[in-house]
């Protein structure tokens, strides 16, 4: 059920939702507020689809703010559980192109379900946008999409600028969260007691990725874990002063890592997406300590799983450590 409106009348929007709940005469529960800000038309379509996916799985109220002309709408989605109608999700779409930051904050605050967790999905272009700070102040968790646009390391530098601010502890970046299965896969090489000894002897890292933030995060994570220090452009030095070179190649699919190769003195560790299946990574170890080729599933990288992780996992020291490494690496970039 959808109802078009013309002005941002918070009370009117809430009345519409209440009316739809009354029509169904069932139960309404909400466990999450999702606020999504988007200022690009193509991204709006994508985010709208993702919000729908999230609404399928979360009992939530979603508020989609887009910088476009047009009306506002509310709609709710109900399901039947044990012969009882349950209002499962509610969505409010608002066109907010000319709405100032403070006013936007006030509107959104009025639309939130009080006492439940609020997550801001920020798909705006810049984190310096006053609306980011305004909406961020309402959120318990802020999910960023630093690789949503093809801006090289630009968006990552804006994420780094949040370090030390009040926003820092709330922020999660989907580009980093998306790495989790890759981190786990790379770690799997060195769960093997005979191969873990190769880690201090790594000399070169090659990553093929569709967007820069994922590559920087992956390399920053490796460097942080192995106590490397950035010592030149695309170069790290390990504790023994030996140089590790880094090469980042552009991959075929945006926002996805395609392959990672690690070279030690005697082995090449390779993790590559399977050609025919984009949800499998195949691992090989060649050289002095070869291992049987095997494939592992690339799981939980869909938007819903990532947001789930962003909401419920603590920010973690590893992300902070990785950001520190990325910052130092980028200091050597022109």
Partner 1 sequence: MTVTPGTAGNGLAQVANPLREGLESTRITDPCTIVFFGASGDLFKRMLMPAIYNLRLQDQLPASFGLIGFARSPYSDDEFREYCKSCVNEFSRSGPVKEPLWNDLAQRISYITADFDDTKHFETLRTRLDEYEKQFGAGRNRLFYLATPPSVFPKIITQLKRAHLDPADNPAGWSRIIVEKPFGTDLASAQALQTEVEKVFNENDVYRIDHYLGKETVQDIMALRFANTIFEPIWTRNYIQSVQITAAETLGVEGRGGYYDNAGALRDMIQNHVMNLLALVAMEPPASADANAIRNEKYKVFSAIAPPAPEEVFHMSVRGQYGPGAIAGEAVPGYRQEPDVRPDSNTETYAALRLYINNWRWAGVPFYLRSGKRLARKVSEIAITFNSIPHRLFGEKSDTIEQNVLVIKIQPDEGISIRFNAKVPGQKNHIRSVTMDFNYGTGFGVQSAPAYERLIADAMRGDATLFTRWDAVQRAWEIVMPILEVWQSIRDRSFPNYPAGSEGPESAAALNPGWRPL
Q: Is 321 exposed, middle or buried (0-12, 13-18, 19+ CB in 10 A)?
A: middle
Using rule CB under 8 A, residue 294 touches partner 1 = yes
Closest distance of CB 276 from partner 1, Å: 7
Using rule CB under 8 A, residue 226 touches partner 1 = yes
Number of Cβ within 10 Å of residue 234's Cβ equals 15
Residues of span 83-102 touching partner 1 by CB under 8 A: 84, 86, 88
The tokens describing 261, both together, are 């190769």
State how far Cα 36 lies from the chain centre: 13
Using rule CB under 8 A, residue 306 touches partner 1 = no
Using rule CB under 8 A, residue 286 touches partner 1 = no
Q: Which of 127, 186, 260, 285 binds partner 1 (CB under 8 A)?
A: 186
Closest distance of CB 173 from partner 1, Å: 16
Would you say 189 and 233 are in contact if contact means Cβ atoms under 8 Å apart? no
The candidate with the shortest Cα–Cα distance to 135, out of 160, 159, 106, 163, is 106
Q: DSSP letters along 178-224, please?
A: TTHHHHHHHHHHTTSTTTGGGGGGEEEEEEEESSHHHHHHHHHHHHH
Using rule CB under 8 A, residue 183 touches partner 1 = yes
Using rule CB under 8 A, residue 297 touches partner 1 = yes
Using rule CB under 8 A, residue 57 touches partner 1 = yes
Using rule CB under 8 A, residue 81 touches partner 1 = yes
What is the spatial order of strands in the sheet that 202-209 belongs to?
229-232, 235-237, 243-250, 202-209, 257-264, 267-273, 280-287, 291-297
Using rule CB under 8 A, residue 29 touches partner 1 = yes
Using rule CB under 8 A, residue 190 touches partner 1 = yes
Nearer to partner 1, 65 or 310 (CB): 310
Using rule CB under 8 A, residue 184 touches partner 1 = yes
**What are the residues facing 1 on neighbouring strands?**
none
Residues touching partner 1: how many (CB under 8 A)?
51
Residue 173: how many CA atoms within 13 Å on its side-chain side? Answer: 27
Nearer to partner 1, 37 or 269 (CB): 269
Using rule CB under 8 A, residue 290 touches partner 1 = no
**Contacts with 193 (C-beta within 8 Å, 6 or more apart), sequence order:** none
Largest Cα–Cα distance of the chain, in whole Å?
70
Nearer to partner 1, 29 or 165 (CB): 29
* Spatial distance between the Cα atoms of 313 and 230, rounded to a whole number of angstroms: 29
Using rule CB under 8 A, residue 58 touches partner 1 = yes
The tokens describing 132, both together, are 């980011």
Q: Which residue stretch of 100-108, 128-136, 195-203, 235-243 sits at the interface with partner 1 (rule: CB under 8 A)?
A: 195-203
Which spans of this chain sit near partner 1 (rule: CB under 8 A)? Answer: 27, 29, 31, 54, 57-59, 79, 81-82, 84, 86, 88, 180-181, 183-184, 186-188, 190-193, 196-197, 199-200, 222, 225-226, 274, 276-277, 279-280, 282, 292, 294-297, 299, 304-305, 307-308, 313, 316-318
């Amino acid at each position: 059920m959808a109802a078009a409106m013309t002005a941002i009348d918070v009370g009117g929007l809430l009345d519409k939702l209440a009316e739809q709940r009354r029509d169904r005469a069932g139960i309404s529960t909400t466990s999450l507020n999702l606020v999504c800000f988007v200022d690009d038309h193509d991204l709006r379509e994508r985010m709208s689809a993702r919000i729908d996916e999230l609404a399928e799985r979360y009992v939530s109220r979603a508020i989609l703010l887009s910088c476009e002309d047009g009306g506002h709408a509310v709609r709710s989605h109900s399901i039947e559980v044990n012969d009882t109608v349950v209002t499962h999700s509610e969505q409010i779409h608002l066109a907010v192109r000319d709405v100032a930051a403070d006013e936007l904050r006030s509107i959104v605050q009025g639309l939130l379900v009080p006492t439940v967790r609020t997550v801001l999905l920020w798909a705006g272009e810049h984190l310096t946008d006053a609306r980011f700070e305004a909406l961020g102040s309402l959120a318990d968790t802020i999910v960023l999409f630093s690789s949503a646009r093809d801006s090289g390391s630009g968006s990552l530098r804006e994420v780094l600028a949040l370090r030390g601010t009040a926003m820092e502890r709330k922020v999660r970046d989907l580009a980093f969260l998306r790495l989790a299965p890759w981190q786990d896969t790379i770690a799997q090489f060195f769960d093997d007691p005979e191969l873990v000894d190769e880690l201090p002897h790594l000399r070169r890292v090659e990553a093929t990725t569709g967007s820069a933030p994922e590559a920087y995060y992956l390399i920053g994570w490796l460097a942080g874990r192995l106590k490397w220090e950035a010592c030149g452009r695309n170069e790290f030095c390990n504790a023994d002063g030996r140089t590790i070179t880094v090469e980042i190649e552009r991959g075929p699919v945006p926002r996805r890592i395609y392959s990672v190769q690690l070279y030690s003195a005697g082995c090449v560790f390779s993790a590559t997406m399977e050609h025919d299946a984009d949800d499998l990574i195949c691992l090989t170890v060649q050289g002095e300590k070869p291992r049987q080729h095997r494939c592992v599933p690339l799981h939980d990288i869909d938007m819903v799983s990532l947001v789930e992780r962003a909401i419920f996992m603590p920010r973690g020291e590893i992300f902070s450590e990785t950001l520190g490494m990325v910052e130092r690496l980028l200091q050597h970039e022109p």
